[in-house]
Amino acid sequence: MDLTKDGIEELILKALSTAVDRGQSRSGTPYLSGGELGRTLKISRTAVWKHIRVLQKRGYQIRGVPSKGYMLLEKADRLSRTHIEKTLQTRKIGSTLYLFEEIGSTNDHAMMMGEQGIPEGAVFLAESQTHGKGRLGRSWISPPGVNLYLSILFRPTFPPVQAPMMTLMSACAVVEAVKEVTGIDAGIKWPNDILIEGKKVSGILTEMSAEQDTVHHLVVGTGINVNMDTQSLPPDIQGKSTSLFHHLGRKTDRTELLCALLKSIERFYGVLNRKGPEAIVRCWKQHSNIVGKRVAVSTHRKTIEGRVEDLTPDGALMIRLNHGERVNIFSGDVEILS
């Protein structure tokens, strides 16, 4: 038998799963020893152990007990291409789908593939990222098997100055998809934070390759904390971040949420192309509680304080500074003061 590494891991899972059924019907033990697995697959016990470690890293909960062997505790919720393709109801977004077990950053990969003429609407999705990127040079924690990490490639015909609209329209799409699948009303904090009860559940990172008047390609990367146990986050992040699981107390089907999100993005992108930015800004304002609030905004150069008066038609934050002057801010980090 000449099996690939993945093939062996699939067979190990199948055997462990059968052993669990056997254990549940009380006709045997739910454990399989490394020796038994090795004999069936014609590999050494050490090789079995190595494959088990890989499966555990991919999110499968497998318990190893020295005198008994291995037992599959809970099958990981896996993203499968077949399941996604069956559930997806879009025409363009996701019609080309790249699914990775692990990748540096789906945004980096999508930007690179954008150079190679990959069509608009291609989706790059990963079970985990080793170098997930956030805004302002931050990182995005991307553990395997629990959340959604995806990037979508666009080839918009609008000029580069309209690119912030893609972040705003994606934020609207995330809020809509989360509401549809979980019933949760999330809000948007300018420009890209999706919050539940003041804590971040999702973030969006838009990157593009452009010249003065033309966008060559643009990538919208979205991370959603879906089934992540927030207790596993570093203490400084726990206070600021949340997950859908934390609010619902139950798991959300990631494929269902992904497909609802892609459908919603396709719809909003259509609205942006047909009706222009005003329609997106209107929707964004409905989901944002920032207009009228006092804020501190940190930009690359300085931090300013003032009251948010509005969002401009091109997506900038219109702020009345404390001494009365009005400024439009196109990028920065917002803290709501009151």
For 194-248, the DSSP string reads EEETTEEEEEEEEEEEE-SS-EEEEEEEEEE--S--GGGS-HHHHTTB--HHHHH
Q: Which of 55, 59, 151, 277 binds ligand BTN (CB under 6 A)?
A: 151
- Does 170 interact with ligand BTN (rule: CB under 6 A)? no
Instruction: Report which residue type is found at 258.
Output: L
Smallest distance from ligand BTN to CB 52, Å: 28
Q: Please report, as residue ranges, which positions from 117 to 136 form the binding site for ligand BTN (by CB under 6 A).
A: 129, 132-135
323: three-class secondary structure by DSSP: coil
| Closer to ligand BTN by Cβ: residue 107 or 243 | 107
| Closer to ligand BTN by Cβ: residue 19 or 163 | 163
Q: Please report, as residue ranges, which positions from 260 to 299 form the binding site for ligand BTN (by CB under 6 A).
A: none
> What's the rounded Cα separation, in Å, for the pair 156 and 94?
16
Q: Please report, as residue ranges, which positions from 202 to 241 form the binding site for ligand BTN (by CB under 6 A).
A: 203-205, 221-223
- Residue facing ligand BTN at closest CB distance: 203
| Closer to ligand BTN by Cβ: residue 8 or 193 | 193
Asked if 320 and 306 touch (Cβ cutoff 8 Å), the reply is yes
> What's the rounded Cα separation, in Å, for the pair 271 and 160?
18
Size of the site for ligand BTN (CB under 6 A): 21
List, in order, residues 6 or more apart from 303 with CB less than 8 Å away. Answer: 296, 297
| Closer to ligand BTN by Cβ: residue 181 or 205 | 205
Strands 303-311 and 317-321: antiparallel
Alpha helices in 102-192 (DSSP H): 106-115, 164-182
Using CA of residue 292, residue 135, residue 146, residue 106, what is the dihedral sign?
positive
Q: Which of 31, 60, 98, 149 binds ligand BTN (CB under 6 A)?
A: 149
Smallest distance from ligand BTN to CB 159, Å: 23
Smallest distance from ligand BTN to CB 325, Å: 29
- Does 182 interact with ligand BTN (rule: CB under 6 A)? no
| Closer to ligand BTN by Cβ: residue 151 or 264 | 151
Question: Which residue ranges make up the site for ligand BTN (CB under 6 A)?
Answer: 105-107, 129, 132-135, 138, 140, 149-151, 192-193, 203-205, 221-223
